[in-house]
Structure 1
């Protein structure tokens, strides 16, 4: 008797194709979930690790981005300034920054450096490595020492609380990891973190702005015995935000990078009664040197 294999059942090619497609999509979904989970974990690690990086390392990164040479090249519309005027203003700003840093409890290893740019834009900003830049446009609008101290204290607080490091946590953590394996490249750092122009336009979260406000209020109270400079500055900004004319336009850059909800003005007012303010030091109020 000859044995014969039983006939195989007819295969449904369409059903097989659908089953394979379903399995592929399921596998793709699992891979996507794993990738999303990995990115989330890496993001949390970066957010945790970046603010804990040594400040000396942050300063080193700032040097690779040439943030220690802030000047006219960093902003369009800047004008060349006489070296004597540059030194004069930066020395005056540095003295104020040092006093505010002491009043704010900034750690001694956290070096803060003043920079001055002769640019008509009304603005001031802090960048990586403790570099704090003030533009001539802001100095020409500030009327009182306490107002300028309020601006500087706010920017110092962003450095002190590592707000920029937290904001750039992903890029900084990646740069740190690459540095540990010997890969150090200014061009790569600029790609991961940004250049001077991008960093000066960086916006902070509401929580970061609130924390900087609190530190500025505390520093003003410690230095002047009142917070009138902060309150007056915020009141002026609030009024400018409500305006639509030329005056408000002059402050556009500052108001865009320093958003001012009404609650911030109220907090400043509630910190204490108004006091007499002192006119801005002549060396800072003086117009830019003739060219």
Structure 2
């Protein structure tokens, strides 16, 4: 009997290659979908977790970023940052902040740390760990104590609502996780969160600004019985914005990190008992430049 091998089936190589490509694309799409879902889930988890990080942890993370040395790192060259007048100004700012903290019933564990920075930058910013930085350029632009209270109350509102923590949720959640396992690296935290310069330039969302404004309104009504100081502050920055900001002397960073002064002025003016009242001129030693003080409204 004669045996013979059966003929090999003819293979369509082009069809096989096309099938392999389709299978590869299906796998690629599946992997991509899994990665996207995982990233979105982790992002949402970080956003949810960040404001629930204990405030004491946030303070420790802020220390690794050296935010307690902001006056030295941010001060303009040639300005005596720790001189007698600078210390006097910072003491006054702390007194105002303490009154505002009591008016807003800030939790005792949420300590607000006021830092004064001698710099022409026109801004005040709440960073991490309860740090509020007030630049001398801002004090040079305002005229009344009620405006100063409005600025500080707004920034303290950001702290109470943990807005900066939410803004930096992904990096801060990772830093907190590393903190739990004992890894406390200032270099790593700066890479995850950013340095002081970046924190200064971050802009809050409209929702965050509205919440901080609401805190400022509550503080102004409690301390002064009126929101005139808050409305005056927004009116002043509205004028600075129209005048071109930096052309008036000093970078108006406040307008980048605190947008829409006109809309917020109208909202402050519309608050209960938000009408005009007599305002208290800011003490002259609070300024680094001579700025004529307007007379308070009768």
Mapped to 2, the partners of 1:155 and 1:197 lie a distance apart of 17
Partner of 1:201: 201
Partner of 2:133: 133
What is the DSSP-based 3-state SS (H/G/I as helix, E as strand, rest coil) of the residue aligned with 1:70? helix
Considering only aligned residues, what root-mean-square deviation do their CA atoms show, in Å? 1.9
TM superposition shift of 1:71: 1.2
The unaligned stretches of length 5 or more in structure 1 are none
TM superposition shift of 1:47: 0.5
* Post-superposition CA distance 1:64-114 (Å, at most 9, x none): 000011113235557233532222111111111111111112111001111
TM superposition shift of 1:177: 1.3
Question: For structure 1, which segment, 198-207 or 67-76, has the greater mean C-alpha deviation from structure 2 after superposition?
Answer: 67-76
Partner of 1:91: 91
Partner of 1:6: 6
Partner of 1:275: 277
Task: Calculate the TM-score normalised by the size of structure 1.
Answer: 0.93
Partner of 2:293: none
Mapped to 2, the partners of 1:26 and 1:183 lie a distance apart of 40
Mapped to 2, the partners of 1:34 and 1:184 lie a distance apart of 31
Mapped to 2, the partners of 1:226 and 1:7 lie a distance apart of 98
TM superposition shift of 1:253: 1.5
**Equivalences for 1:1-291 in 2 at 5 Å?**
1-75=1-75, 77=77, 79-244=79-244, 250=250, 252-260=252-260, 262-271=262-271, 272-285=274-287, 287=289
Q: 1:96 to 1:245 in 2, by over 3 A?
A: closer
Mapped to 1, the partners of 2:19 and 2:39 lie a distance apart of 30
Q: 1:261 to 1:22 in 2, by over 3 A?
A: farther
TM superposition shift of 1:246: 6.1
Work out the number of aligned pairs and report it.
288
* Post-superposition CA distance 1:131-186 (Å, at most 9, x none): 11111111111100000100111111111100000000000111111222232211
The unaligned stretches of length 5 or more in structure 2 are 291-298
Indicate conservation of the 8 Å contact 1:72/1:80, yes or no: no
Indicate conservation of the 8 Å contact 1:240/1:247, yes or no: no
Task: Calculate the TM-score normalised by the size of structure 2.
Answer: 0.91
Q: 1:139 to 1:75 in 2, by over 3 A?
A: same
Indicate conservation of the 8 Å contact 1:237/1:260, yes or no: no
* Post-superposition CA distance 1:197-219 (Å, at most 9, x none): 11111111110001111110111
* Post-superposition CA distance 1:243-271 (Å, at most 9, x none): 24765564521211111253212111111
Mapped to 1, the partners of 2:9 and 2:145 lie a distance apart of 92
What is the DSSP-based 3-state SS (H/G/I as helix, E as strand, rest coil) of the residue aligned with 2:140? helix
TM superposition shift of 1:282: 3.8
TM superposition shift of 1:240: 2.3
Q: 1:264 to 1:76 in 2, by over 3 A?
A: same
Q: 1:109 to 1:82 in 2, by over 3 A?
A: closer
Mapped to 2, the partners of 1:85 and 1:244 lie a distance apart of 30
